[in-house]
Amino acid sequence: MTLARAPLLSLVLLGMVACHHRPPPDSRAGPPRGEIAIRVINRSVSDVVIEMVDGGVPSRLGTAYGGATDVFFVPWERVQSSGSLRLLGDPVGSTQAIVTDRLSVRPGSMVVWTIEPVLTQSSAAVY
């Protein structure tokens, strides 16, 4: 009798697994959370203070050291309202500064900003 019940038990278990449904996603969860990575390739010899400009107000991210590559992470919540940002580079000991164009980003984006020795030749891209 035990051998006869095994196929029946298998069918019942298979039916239970096949009928299982996932709960619907929570509509109150809001937008996805994440970060924006900002990679600064500083080809100049000067250290450059990097700031993110939001609504005309700069906030410091850190320092990109001369001849080095540095990465800064910005929480998505800091740019979420506009979905865009601008970066400001202020070389230490200089009166010159550089500002990127407005960059459109989304969670998980990586901004690559290459700062050249001649600041006006610098470029930024979003990936």
Pair 114, 122: CB distance under 8 Å = yes
**pLDDT value of position 30:** 46
User: Does 111 or 76 have the greater pLDDT score?
Assistant: 111
Nearest alpha-carbon partner for 105 in 60, 57, 39: 39
Domains, the chain, with CATH or none: 33-126 (2.60.40.2890)
Please compute the mean of the pLDDT values over residues 74-94 and round it to a whole number. Answer: 88
pLDDT digits (tens, 9 = 90+) for 30-72: 445 689 999 999 999 999 999 999 778 889 999 999 999 999 9
pLDDT digits (tens, 9 = 90+) for 86-110: 999 999 999 999 999 999 999 999 9
Integer Cα distance of 109 and 37 in angstroms: 6
Gyration radius of the chain over CA positions:
26
